[in-house]
A = this chain, B = another copy of it.
Amino acid sequence: MIYTIKETDRILKEGNGRVIIENIVPEIDGGRFPIKRVLKENVSINVDLFTDGHNLVCGKILYRYIGDSEWSSVDLISLGNDVFEGGFYVKKVGIWEYTIIAWIDEFATWQRDLKKRLSVDADIIIDLQIGVELLKAGIKNAPERIKNKLKKTIVLINNKKSKVKSLNAALDTDLLKIMYEYGKRKNLSVYEKNLQIIVDPEIAGFSAWYEMFPRGNWGDCKSKGTFKTVEKRLNYIKNMGFNVLYFPPIHPIGIEFRKGKNNAVKAKKNDVGSPWAIGGISGGHKSILTELGTIKDFEGLVKKAKKKGIHIALDLAYQCSPDHPYVKEHPEWFKKRPDNTIQYAENPPKKYQDIYPIDFSTKKWKELWEELKSIVLFWIDKGVTIFRVDNPHTKSLSFWEWMIKSIKEEYPETIFLAEAFTRPKMMYRLAKLGFSQSYTYFTWRNTKWELTSYLNDLTKTDKIEYYRPNFWPNTPDILHEYLQVGGPEAFKIRFILAALLSPNYGIYGPVFELTENTPVKTGSEEYLNSEKYEISKWDINAPESISSFISKINKIRNDNEVFKSNRNLEFFEINNENLLCFAKYNDDLSEVHLIIVNLDTNWTQSGWVQLPLDKFKIPQNEQYQVFDQLNNKYYFWKGNRNYVELAPKETPAHIFKIKRFQRTEKNFDYYV
């Protein structure tokens, strides 16, 4: 119970604070959840400040790293109509907090009123005295240098000889800033909440994920890949431009009820099983499947990858095969059926007898939760900082909130990606309660309308504050129909969209770059001969590979700051439903990228792009250059309507950099 009839007491206590502080943006669900930022990112805050009567108000943002005793402060600037704005940068990974203070700016009010009084009468002797009192109060707080300035001002105001000098001193605009800093803060109000910011490492805000089954056979190993084999693949991944390498579970795989190839209910003798059926006689979530290598091999791989700028991400799938040690050691962590058997996973009528879900509401939940957390700590100790969490929406949300918070308190650089494909409210709740990145509906957003409305929802609402989308054109579970029917063009188009519409994205390879697109059956999104259930063979040098295309797009992403943020995305009109046009640009317009994608994998599409030239400060009647970074071609455009034509087999997209024309004394050229 937060507000009760007895809150009149609270109000009485606050009698002296007269400035209303409300409508702070961002503030998620009344401050129940933190906002998110990455290291060095800006936190821009808007707030309404006003008071009774005619006094002017002012305020500051207070902010600090959690646990610090001192606040830093930053000015709030009036935008008019009672709205104020300010901002600061977060320079350390971890939890920050911010709040607002506001007070009546007596000195600014006094200067304003003095001017008004001068316009009608000259009887301001007493008014000047009031100003002098305010300045004297300022002297008390000010540093020496400022003290002297204020003292001189008082002498000038008090001088009896020259009214002009007196008034000039009183109305000196430099005094406004001084008195804002050092004047008495009359009727100071403090916002009733401290709001929180989770500051993540930069990788949380800008990441290109490559998912790989390490056991896959790329022709670089005897029969199955190992961690040692993966070491050899690092350059290939680095050259394509990825910075996260994510493995499905690397733990022992259960034998009981093991699934066969293509998800067959019964496994054959040599079937390797699904990595998500975690746990066997050799161990559970803190063990490594013998065939992949040792803990030491794994640690070696993590280190080698890190040297190349690649983070290894692990899969966190809190579920057990019937052979998992937990099943024997902690039967109380699993639900029983009336016949005393353990309840297997099901989504009726489907049954997953190879997987036992964990009972998060078990009476022994505290021990269970601590053990589950210790799994994360175990792998953090081995050098892992990124976890992709399997189906978090089927586990207790309170568990996630507690676990992620308590891990990040100790290891703030840790990040968690929520692999939830479910109803919207659940997706967004998971993000609010702590997941650093989230899977999305991108995989099923293929048309212009779908992409535009989805991206606007993600970037133009308060979701931008807590939900970091991670766009995946494919996963081991999802081969969308668009890829099945669209050929290599579809892969290129979907890759461009994922990589350039979202600062975080990922692909499941080498399936993706090899443009493998055969479903297990018509109408299914499952792969035929899915790598989930068998050792697949891949020829990464096959001619159909689009790996060099991927390298090119990732280079554009990596070389241009604008692709690191989701806040600068804007869609522009183009009169063809098959063409999508969007821009990414920074505030000072030093980087303006205009991307036009042909969503049609079959036919050449053309249309007229409609650009808001004013926004880019390009004169209507002046030529500008659009430089296509994909093929190094450039075009000269003029005015706000320009023609484009895209043939999917040759150019699935334009990735233009807009260069404005610059004439100087010595030369003229296109720059920016």
Contact = CB atoms under 8 A, between A and B. Distances in A.
Interface of A: 1-5, 7-8, 11-12, 14-18, 20, 22-23, 29-32, 34, 48, 50-54, 66-67, 81-82, 95, 112-113, 116-117, 119-121, 126, 129-130, 133, 187, 192-196, 337-339, 346-349, 360-361, 365-366, 369, 392-399, 401-402, 405-406, 409, 423-426, 429
Given A129-B338, A405-B7, A397 B18 contact: yes
Contacts of A423: 50, 81-82
B8 A406 contact: yes
A196 B7 CA distance: 12
B14 A398 contact: yes
Contacts of A347: 54
Contacts of A348: 112-113, 116-117
Contact of A95 (B5, B17, B81): B5
Contacts of A121: 349
A360 B17 CA distance: 11
A3 B193 contact: yes
A349 B119 contact: yes
A623 B190 CA distance: 63
Contacts of A361: 15-16, 18, 187
Nearest to A67: B5
Contacts of A397: 18, 20, 51-52
A338 B134 CA distance: 12
B50 A366 contact: no
A196 B3 contact: yes
B29 A31 contact: no
A479 to B, nearest CB: 24
B11 A409 contact: no
Contact of A3 (B51, B194, B393): B194
A95 to B, nearest CB: 6
Nearest to A9: B402
B126 A338 contact: yes
Contacts of A133: 338
Contacts of A192: 2
A128 B563 CA distance: 56
26 contacts: A2-B192, A2-B194, A3-B194, A5-B66, A5-B67, A5-B405, A11-B398, A15-B396, A15-B399, A18-B396, A20-B397, A20-B425, A22-B29, A29-B30, A30-B31, A30-B32, A50-B426, A52-B393, A52-B397, A54-B347, A81-B425, A116-B348, A119-B349, A126-B337, A129-B339, A130-B338
Contacts of A369: 12, 15
Contacts of A396: 15, 18, 52
Contacts of A360: 18
B50 A425 contact: yes
B52 A394 contact: yes
Nearest to A16: B361
A82 B11 contact: no
Given A2-B31, A121-B349, 15 more contacts: A3-B34, A5-B405, A8-B402, A8-B406, A11-B401, A12-B402, A15-B399, A18-B360, A20-B429, A30-B32, A52-B392, A81-B423, A116-B349, A117-B348, A129-B338
Contacts of A119: 349
Given A338-B130, A423-B50, A429-B22, A117 B349 contact: yes
Given A54-B347, A194-B2, A425-B48, A337 B130 contact: yes
